[in-house]
Amino acid sequence: MPSVKHSLESGLDFIEFLGDRISNNSKQELKNIYYSEFRCREGLKDPSFSSVLYALVKCNKARIRHGQIFLNVTPQARVYCDQWRKPPGQKKQSGSSDLPKEDERPGHTSSPQNPVLISKRKLATEVLHKLKANRKKLTADKGGVELTSEPVSSGGKLQFTVDRLRELFVVRFHILNNGKDCIYFTYYTALHKIRCFTLDDERRVTRASPVYLCPGESYQVVVRYMLNHYGYFPATMYFEFCPDATDSTPFCIVREVEAIAQTSLAAELGPVAPYTPHRVSTYTAVETLVVEGVPPDISVVQQLKMTVKLGDYKYPSYLKQLARQRLEDSEHLSSAARQKLQAVNSLKMKNYSHRFHLLLYLEEIQMEVDIRKYDLHNQTMNQVQGDRKLLTLRVPGVAENRPSVLRGDCLRVSKSEDTVQPITVFTGYVHRVELDIVKLGFSKRLLQAFIDNMKFDVEFTINRFPLKLQHRAVELATKYQLGEVLFPSGAAVASIAVPKLRIFNRQLENNPEQHAAVQRIVVGSSKPAPHLVFGPPGTGKTVTLVEAMNQVNFTLYPSTHILACAPSNSACDLLCERLMVHIDPHQVYRMYASSKDPRSVPKNLLTQDAFVFPDKETLMKFRVLVVTMVTAGRLVSGGIPVGHFTHVFVDEGGQAVEPECVIAIAGLLSPETGQLVLAGDPKQLGPILRSPLALEHGLGISLLERLMLQNPLYQKSSDSGHFDTRFVTKLLRNYRSHSAILKVPNELFYENELQVFADQWEREAFCKWEHLPKKGFPVIFHGVMGKDEREANSPSFFNVSEVVVLVDYLTKLMDTQGKKGIPKLSARDIGIIAPYRKQVEKIQKALKSVKALSQWNDLKELKVGSVEEFQGQERKIILISTVRSSINYVRMDKDFNIGFLSNEKRFNVAVTRARSLLIVVGNPVILNKDPTWENCGYIFHEVFAFSSSRGLECLVTH
């Protein structure tokens, strides 16, 4: 019995084979064609007609009504004729050819799979490969054959746009034998399976019955497009010719066809200018004379005096050598260098600072190498209207940290025409970053000499401040003997009875794990060892942390001071907002770094125009300070004494490298009496690192993850199979999402341990939404054949077809809210996640320009951002745009650690933010090439009762 999958593939090939005869509904006639023409092709082992029909019906590719068969390919017919039929007795060809070898062609394969598909796939791979390598050769007219088309092609590419769907668009290829000899037109096909066109020619050319063209004779192939969906539909048309029907080497001519169907919104959002990539130039050392620029006014009012020194921590030169060797040839690391690295491989308190200094140096060296890639040449700057002391510079990519430029950072510019050494280098300080524009403060000397259109070369520099803080932190960890905090043995742990608590957040009363965790933290049951709270997304880690802080503040008052930290500002803001529900806001202080733009701070957290670092005494009066880990370093510099903070709470602890986390501990927390609490999920976004060497030697592992992986106190007991709850709390009840939303992450990352506890009314709020493909399953995967594009000289990607679909869903949500049992919505209930900054920008632009959406008067509250910006956040409805539509860029995503593909952790965070409805918009063909997304397709298949091997394809719900 053949598998349904095998039968379906044969069925789809049969449909393709039928060509124009697809409209034939007679079961008997189709059966005859199947057996007499299709199934008996040489070497084929297709299943029986009834098995094929069964598979087609089961997978919605055919319907049977009153004994008649309706093949489900219209109007999206994929009915170009397949002509992989070898002429009987054809001899093996000799000589080189553009074509696949003869024994790889159908009829010569012994594979039990369908050879039509295999050979066509092979042909497609080969032709596409050759197109990349030598496009000119493949697309050139040759052998006397002239291939023209209507519409006319240019450089082998034929592009056309249709404005309206479901309207016929005809492309004609004219084949003219312009040579002196006769020629056989033996074969043609489209090398992509996009079901939006049919191929037709009068005499049904096949290798079995080629068309003979005498000199001067011509022939026509017609491609009929019927686009049912907006998007971008590329195809590669392959035409094959032979000077002699039996005994000569065939050759081919290829044309690329791009059909585009777009709305006016898509046209409006399209590229503003063709993409011109930034060219990387080689760097040569030159003698320079540096002229200092003007830093921005400190918007932070600095009342906190710096009393603890921060060293410079420059890396030793031998390390640069080592890193360079490694970068160029990892085989030839000197043995001394190798030993140095090996010596620090196993982390102990004894080598703690030494090891992290080394790894941080390696990271810095790599950062220096990477930042050079962004150097700009021959750039013009402009004077800022209204503030002529500043110059603006366009920095493509800055919005997605390529390069990372923050307020207060420094850039080095020199006049492009300056060639005489020493070259004058002007340092410019970043006053403001606005999308891809930076505003820079330079010295008077440059401003006075500045004239419009002056050309400059620009070098970016790295911000060493966070690195320096990390170096100091690992040193302080040794100085203050944090051994029992960083490598706890559990020896000093006293057994204390847990107190009865009056819980502030009543939700926790129903969750014994959360409740117990709070009790343990309040009583300090793990002290001096850290207490870990870990669990999958939405299991209430942050809520537990916040309740524990409330309880510590309330129960142990007045002897406690809390430092609440997270790696990112958005996670800190969330902590702060939740803390202020139960703690008097005057007792909580949210301290921001000077690099933070006050305009990006949530209104309820910004109490004054500028940020203030109050003096030490004032700071020490607050019950709770909320800061990022890096800003916690300022508290150390400001001389807040060790032991002032009785508790340090770290949320999203899995996102920071260990030395970053230690900034908030070393020099602040008492090693004997302090309580450290770390919350996080190692399966969500981790630290981002550049140096492969540092990664290889473990810098990518967070403190939370290291303790969980390497310290027995934080592992399940082999006897009981349970965690020791004095040290670790594992949360498994998910309070955020509908089970359908959790299905994929639960299976892929959490061994199906995650339990659904979200409020039933909330989680099922969209289960009856009329636009769901399956009622009761509030997940939509919407397949879009879009195009990932870039514009001007920005390296960031966007995909307008996906923006159009997102906007369409938003409009549907707006139209249906408050009707038929669907709750009323405000824009703040919705979040849109996109992997690239340009796509975020295009979505924001679309939100502003679509009139229908302006009904939401809080439209500004609709958050559009990257996954990083959504970590720890949730919304009722999440829409995700995956953008990627060409396989060629997937490698780039991996190298730059961007995008959704090849990054499980980013995928996990993105799909676990929604409470009641998740809509993913993406290209199924590309996503299926990634194992995580492909699995996603398989898992959904069960739900949708599809039976196919085609991953996400079956979920395409145009």
Residues of this chain that interact with ligand ATP (CB under 6 A) are 507-508, 510-511, 514, 535, 537-543, 681, 735-736, 872, 874
Q: Which of 789, 781, 787, 806 is nearest to 231 (CA)?
A: 787
- The whole-angstrom distance between residue 500's C-alpha and the CA centroid of its chain comes to 45
Of the pair 353, 871, the CB lying nearest ligand ATP is at: 871
CA distances from 827 to 509, 601, 731, 862 (A): 31, 19, 30, 5
Pairing of strands 168-177, 218-226: antiparallel
Residue 274 CB partners (closer than 8 Å, separation 6+): 791, 792
Distance in Å, CB of 733 to ligand ATP, minimum: 7
Q: Which residue has the tokens 């632009």?
A: 845
The kind and range of the H/E element at 177 are strand 168-177
Cα–Cα dist 569/78, whole Å: 50
Residue 543 or 955: the one with the smaller Cβ distance to ligand ATP is: 543
User: By C-beta, is 537 or 783 nearer to ligand ATP?
Assistant: 537
Comparing CA positions, the residue from 558, 562, 549 lying closest to residue 508 is 549
SS3 call for 837? helix
Phi and psi of 843, rounded to 5°? -65, -45
Of 17 and 714, CB closest to ligand ATP: 714
Beta strands in 568-707 (DSSP E): 588-590, 611-613, 624-628, 647-650, 675-680
- Determine the Cα–Cα distance for residues 581 and 566; give it in Å rounded to an integer: 19
State the burial class of residue 752 (Cβ atoms within 10 Å of its Cβ: 0-12, 13-18, 19+): exposed
How far is the C-alpha of 633 from the C-alpha of 473, rounded, in Å?
Answer: 8
Nearer to ligand ATP, 540 or 835 (CB): 540
Give 570 or 796: the residue with its C-beta nearer to ligand ATP.
570
CB of 547 to ligand ATP, least distance (A): 9
Nearer to ligand ATP, 206 or 511 (CB): 511
Q: 108 in helix, strand or coil?
A: coil
| CB closer to ligand ATP out of 392 and 544 | 544
Minimum separation from the CB atom of position 750 to ligand ATP (A): 12
Q: Where are any strands of DSSP class E within 796-945?
A: 830-833, 863-865, 875-881, 914-922
Task: For residues 564 and 575, give the distance between their C-alpha atoms in angstroms, rounded to a whole number.
Answer: 8
How far apart are alpha carbons 14 and 84 in whole angstroms? 12
Rounded Cα distance, 465 and 660, in Å = 12
Lookup: tokens for 37: 């023409």
Nearest to 713 by CA among 518, 482, 530: 530
Minimum CB separation of residue 840 from ligand ATP in Å reads 20
For 778, the token pair is 């509030």
What would the two tokens of residue 756 be? 């659904």
Can you give the length of the chain in residues? Answer: 958
Which residue, 357 or 875, has its beta carbon nearer to ligand ATP? 875
Q: How far is the CB of 481 from ligand ATP (least distance, A)?
A: 32
Dihedral sign from CA coordinates of 690, 870, 583, 761: negative
Q: How many CB atoms lie within 10 A of CB 112?
A: 10
Residue 183 vs 910, nearer CB to ligand ATP: 910
Question: Would you say 364 or 681 has its CB closer to ligand ATP?
Answer: 681
Q: Among residues 625, 631, 615, which one has the least CA distance to residue 648?
A: 625
Least distance between ligand ATP and beta carbon 282 (Å)? 44
Least distance (Å) from ligand ATP to the CB of residue 818? 22
- Which of 8, 564 has the CB closer to ligand ATP? 564
Q: Which residue, 633 or 682, is less far from ligand ATP as judged by CB?
A: 682
To ligand ATP, the closest distance from the beta carbon of 399 in angstroms equals 25
What is the smallest separation between the CB atom of 730 and ligand ATP, expressed in angstroms?
Answer: 11
In the complex with ligand ATP, which residue's Cβ is closer, 538 or 687? 538
Burial 42-74 (b: 16+ CB within 10 A, else e): eebebbbbebbbbbbebbebbeeeeeebebebe
Cβ 123 to ligand ATP shortest distance, Å: 47
* CA distance readout (Å), 392 to 297, 384, 441: 17, 6, 9
Q: CB under 8 Å to 294, separation ≥6 — which residues?
A: 389, 429, 441, 442, 443
Taking the least distance from each CB to ligand ATP, the nearer of 729 and 885 is: 729
Q: HSE (CB half, 13 Å, CA atoms) of 950?
A: 17
Give the residue at shortest CB distance from ligand ATP.
Answer: 540
In the complex, minimum distance from the CB of residue 514 to ligand ATP, in angstroms, rounded to a whole number: 5
User: Which residue in this structure is represented by tokens 């794990």?
Assistant: 513
Nearer to ligand ATP, 670 or 871 (CB): 871
In single-letter form, the type of residue at position 15 comes to: I
Smallest gap from residue 588 Cβ to ligand ATP (A): 18
Q: Which CB sits closer to ligand ATP, 730 or 941?
A: 730
User: Which token pair is 288?
Assistant: 């320079």
Give the span between the Cα atoms of 163 and 771, in whole angstroms: 25
Nearest to 632 by CA among 470, 484, 482: 470
Copy the structure tokens of residue 323. Answer: 């890193």
Residue 446, CB-side half-sphere exposure with 13 Å CA sphere: 28
Which lies closer to ligand ATP via its Cβ, residue 538 or residue 924?
A: 538
Cα 7 to Cα 2: distance, rounded to the nearest angstrom: 6
